[in-house]
Amino acid sequence: MKEEITIIVPRDKFKELKRSDIKKLITDNLDNVRETLIAEYEEYLLEKREKLIEKLNEMESKIAELRKYYEKALKDNEILKTERERLKRENEELKKMLKGSKR
């Protein structure tokens, strides 16, 4: 698979490059280009990592909030169950008292 690369340079730079050996120039600078691309990719990955860490921290914070809410809901549920049982017993006692007073 052969790919083509197009490079656009100013006219005066082109004249200067015309006099030099382009193939040699490219091979001489290939390592520098490779290092630059690697450095740019590493920088991109570091930025991406930072964004992911921020997102993770946000998610952990939301999970902590949800955990607190869930724990409070569990406590409230227990309180409501206890209160419902108390009211049920009280209701039964009142029914017994009402039946006893009717007789």
pLDDT tens digits for 28-73?
A: 889 998 999 999 999 999 999 999 999 999 999 999 999 999 999 9
The one-letter amino acid at 60: E
Instruction: Give this prediction's pTM.
Output: 0.53
Question: Which position has the higher pLDDT, 72 or 97?
Answer: 72
Place of tokens 């869930």: 70
Helices first, then strands: H and E counts in the chain: 2, 0
50: number of CA atoms within 13 Å, CB side? 6
